[in-house]
Structure 1
């Protein structure tokens, strides 16, 4: 049948099972929006307050559901406003399709009104991108975009469509979409056997879990593997929930703000089994001293990550779930009781701490965990609050911690929270923010209230850019250049003006009462919590130091004496 490009776009979205799009209209996408109007009972469109919010919402939707997130923007500034969100998704391997309009083909390259080379701009931060100049290529391009976004190591794909393509007609035939197969053709038997041999010989193994285990939905396989290897477990920020944070073998996060138990166990181990992690600099610290006593076995879907940041001894390339299935089928039960007990003693000796006398971020997060029974989806912005959320909430399931890891995008969390709630309407979804981050994206509260998306936004207001101030305190002689935010913005009034229910907490006794009320409401809620300006995230590894030199506040005080 003959359809316009806009009609083909909507039909292709329906083919892919897309039920929600986050976007913002404009001249170059008017034909698309007109067609979406006709299909609003099949595809829900969420109008965000800013295109960046749309990209973050699509990202949060994708991370929390495992499906492809879709965002839509017009040409020029609309398209460029998506770039930070696309880069965020790229760094964390999030399956996303960003659709942008552009000027008509005859106006391309002429500096036309709202024209920009968005494919050129996004080339470094997309898995692939396309510009469609012929309606005959549109359907196939869209299908390829969704396939690329989901296959192998996922990532964002951009499809830029000239305006006249959305109006022109061509023949459209519906195509049944094949399920994306997990990458297994690269899993070599000799690599499996070599990995098994390393595990059998190990006396002090540690299992290190990254975001690849979450992306692969390998939670069951990870649990079985940990049990068979009988080893302590550490994770990355992106790996939260792939292994149960309440399990006795879990030692905490590894790296700059990792636990002492995790950092010291990796330093002392003789085998580091790395599952779906790319060895970020925030994890490794001084690379020359990272896991210096260990052989390293790396399991990853992307061969480009092997030996990129850390030199390893053996790799198994393929989807994490598929690799672990094969290892689990052939691995005998191991016993490392002495080593495990040694690590558990470190875990008991070096617990995470905070000041119990005052209102703090960690106290609020522990109350959230208690009142939600660990069943909420937590999204975060970037900074101290993000690290506390990683440390003090125990993530029992994958896709329940959603945060910008690789790019570290301030302003990410609120949009992601909206996307996660839209994708998981029966779940409690809470965004943890700092006051600096809230300033960057507070306009998306209006999106939540427009559609009555019942999210909870919790702002840790310390009146400073907390993480930057922490570095200034420790490494820049307490010269607080442009990190103090004492001004007259009233977040409660701002939230109420945008239609949200809002609370202010200034002391510990108010926390439980306010949280219980917020959790009982079915409406967007903003809670501003006033905490101390100089609260710090501990433990910490100084930049450039090896991870075993992880220090606590007590260590620092002792050193300064």
Structure 2
């Protein structure tokens, strides 16, 4: 029983069944231990794929994701996936090999100070110098990854420690995770007092809702209080997309209904959100008339960017449950007429500015395709890369559960989508998993098609190809006087041929009238399949809040043209509409 074998047994004791990695010299003793272990190891084709796959596994399941790599380049290739987990609060344990302790600090072959290199992007780091360190380190690593605001933890394992005798070590015993603190009664009473006074309240929900296992409590709160609700990118699905009080995503590419409601609100009830710059736009002009009730588990987030008139620190689920009935009573009583009028106005605006899918022309309109795919696969887990397609998914996919929407939010890492989809599929082999990618992002981790094929994972890939770095091209068009610099991808390879070379079925669609049949064929395909979709390079994501503008200052040519048309020939209904 050496330390590597002890570690494999400890992972099983922690509830780990699957880990993602790539072997090498300094981690070889651990891989030798895996040879006779019931743990399922998934061999990716690049260490970044291992980190993103563990990340997707954790996001979709809520369990700790585990990835493994060797020292030096193996460890450094994990860094982007670790950073993504840190910034989006994803529970992960990262195990890296290290040169023997006797060689540390000598610039030995494949030696890197991964402990120091990752310090800013982990919740905690461990460097094992003795075999006796392992029981405490492993137990603490999993406890820290799971506890409070989740995140990644690193264990760096020198090779000589891995092969050291561990027969004297006790069997691994996981540490309990402390229950999150409950909010104080004083903060709940103060929150209730502010909510009772509001005429134009808005609920602003974020990723902390899913992290806190608070989705049912959040939905109950919204249903009971009947308060119009907006969601961040990582909060999408906390309220079903078709819910009558869901005004959509707020922020840079948020809906007009969501952004204008926030700008006019007199109270923001912020639930597990952090006032990210992509959500707030120009912070000094964000929700200028609103007081703030901020519920969050992490005390550091409360009043970090926007002063909270009332901070409710603690378990979000408990906070929402405690406030639901008292808030509902107040909101339906005093000031009830004003709030009903506000709610009706918000909902009317949402109807007026709802997305349209009747784009003219014969080419494929990406938002319509994505909306239709979400209708055909309503229970699917959708994993996105980063760029225009990511925003189109956020705007148009009919999300009903935040754990079914895997997206690199705070880091915005291209190459995330395919390996994250692999992780999501492995955490639930029966799940329908769809990866939506762009031609720029897809090539960043295209080698993971080999992983799909090896493990026969039935992930369906929708590749939106505009032969450009679309989001960068859009910004250069709008804000850099159309000086298109290094965004041309017109020399893309034949993506269908690439998929087929990996043994994966490939389909193609170029016309709008082909979309329905192509989506049906994609979903019916046995095993993994790729649908290559040609889209117009000039297509942009709307609405868009320009930099250094507030969220009421949205650009959207289509909606602006429709508003002009309504103004020129007002209908009976539009005479009573709220001005945009």
Contact 2:263 2:289 in 1 (8 A): yes
Q: 1:328 Cα deviation (Å)?
A: 2.6
The DSSP-based 3-state class of the residue aligned with 2:486 is: coil
**Aligned-pair CA distance for 1:512:** 1.8
Within the candidate set 37, 48, 52, 1:52 is matched to: 48
Aligned 1:308-323 pairs, distance under 5 A: 308-323=304-319
Report if aligned partners of 1:410, 1:440 keep a CA contact under 8 Å in 2: yes
The corresponding residue for 1:297 is 293
Residues 539 and 552 in structure 1, CA contact (< 8 A), matched pair in contact too: yes
Query: How far 1:175 moved relative to its partner?
Result: 4.4
Query: How far apart in 2 are the matches of 1:76 and 1:283?
Result: 37
- Residue 176 of structure 1: how far off its partner (Å): 4.1
Equivalent residue runs for 1:493-504 within 5 Å: 493-504=497-508
For the pair 1:246 / 2:242, whether they are aligned, the reply is: yes
SS at match of 1:547: coil
- Correspondent of 2:102 among 97, 101, 106: 106
8 A contact 1:246–1:394 mirrored in 2: yes
SS of the counterpart of 1:62? helix
Contact 1:214–1:241 (8 Å) recurs in 2: no
Structure 1 residues 239-296: Cα deviation after superposition (integer angstroms, max 9, x where no partner): 1111111100000000000000000000111110011111110011111110101101
Q: In the aligned structure 1, how far is the partner of 2:51 from the partner of 2:138? A: 18
The DSSP-based 3-state class of the residue aligned with 1:221 is helix
Rounded Cα–Cα distance in structure 1 between residues aligned with 2:179 and 2:243: 28
Sort the Cα spacing of 1:199 and 1:227 in 2 relative to 1 into closer, same or farther, 3 A.
same
**Counterpart among 318, 329, 346 of residue 349 in structure 2:** 346
Displacement after TM superposition at 1:181 (Å):
3.7
Residues in 2 aligned to 1:60 and 1:206: alpha-carbon distance in whole angstroms: 31
State the Cα distance separating 1:178 from its structure 2 match. 4.8
CA distance in 1, matches of 2:308, 2:492: 53
Matched, 1:264 2:254: no
Give the CA deviation at 1:332. Answer: 3.8
Q: Which residue of 1 aligns with 2:577?
A: none
The answer to whether structure 1 residue 477 and structure 2 residue 481 are counterparts is yes
Q: 1:169-211, CA deviations, whole angstroms, 9 ceiling, x for partnerless residues?
A: 13222244354243125x2110011111111111111001100
> In the TM superposition, what whole-angstrom CA distance separates every residue of 1:394-419 from its partner, at most 9, and x where no partner exists?
21123010000000000011100000
**Residue 67 of structure 2 contacts residue 95 of structure 2 at CA under 8 Å; is this kept in 1?**
yes
Residue matched to 2:376: 371
Distance 1:153 1:371 in 2: 35
**Alpha-carbon distance in structure 1 between the residues aligned to 2:326 and 2:124:** 37
- 1:52-201 correspondence runs (5 A): 52-170=48-166, 171-185=168-182, 187-201=183-197
User: How much has 1:557 moved relative to structure 2?
Assistant: 6.9
- Residue 536 of structure 1 and its aligned partner are, at CA, apart by 0.4
1:337 corresponds in structure 2 to 340
Tell me the secondary structure at the aligned position of residue 275 of structure 2.
coil
User: 1:224 aligned to 213, 220, 224, which one?
Assistant: 220
**Alignment deviations for residues 56-112 of structure 1 (CA, whole Å, 9 cap, x no partner):** 000000000000000000000000000000001111000011100000000000000
Q: Please state how far the C-alpha of 1:487 moved relative to its aligned partner.
A: 0.6
Give the distance between the partners of 2:495 and 2:551, measured in 1 at CA. Answer: 38
Q: Indicate whether 1:435 and 2:435 are aligned.
A: no
Who is 1:7 aligned against? 5
Q: Partners in 1 of 2:283 and 2:300 — Cα distance? A: 18
For the Cα contact (< 8 Å) 1:152–1:319, is it kept in 2?
A: no
Match of 2:572 in 1: none
- Give, in whole Å, the separation in 1 of the partners of 2:44 and 2:179: 33
Say what the alpha-carbon RMSD is for the aligned residues: 1.6
TM-score by length of 2: 0.93
Take 1:342 and 1:555, find their aligned partners in 2: how far apart are those partners? 18
Q: CA deviation at 1:551?
A: 2.2
Q: 1:360 aligns with which of 351, 358, 365?
A: 365
Q: Which residue of 1 aligns with 2:464?
A: 460
Residues of 1 paired with 2:326 and 2:562: CA distance?
A: 49
Normalising by structure 1, we get a TM-score of 0.96
Q: 1:554 to 1:246 in 2, by over 3 A?
A: closer
Which one of 197, 200, 203 corresponds to residue 199 of structure 2?
Answer: 203
- Within the alignment, does 1:542 sit opposite 2:550 as a pair? no
What SS does the corresponding residue of 2:429 show, helix, strand or coil?
coil
Q: Does residue 517 of structure 2 align to residue 520 of structure 1?
A: no
Alpha-carbon offset, residue 325 of structure 1: 2.2
> How far, CA to CA, are the matches of 1:51 and 1:434 in structure 2?
21
Write the distance in 2 (CA, Å) between the matches of 1:265 and 1:330: 24
Aligned positions, number = 554
Gaps of 5+ in 1: none
Aligned counterparts of 2:134 and 2:360: Cα–Cα separation in 1: 59
The answer on whether the counterparts of 1:232 and 1:251 sit within 8 Å (CA) in structure 2 is yes
Q: Could you tell me how far apart the structure 2 residues matched to 1:204 and 1:414 are? A: 42
**Gaps (5+ residues) in structure 2?**
333-338, 565-580
Structure 2 counterpart SS, 1:440: coil
1:489: which partner in 2? Answer: 493
In 2, Cα distance between equivalents of 1:248 and 1:332: 17
Q: Matches of 1:383 and 1:214 in 2, distance apart?
A: 23
Range with bigger deviation, 546-555 or 233-242 = 546-555
Q: Distance in 1 between matches of 2:400 and 2:110?
A: 46
Contact 1:463–1:485 under 8 Å retained in 2: yes
- The alpha carbon displacement at 1:531 in A equals 0.1
2:397 alignment counterpart = 393
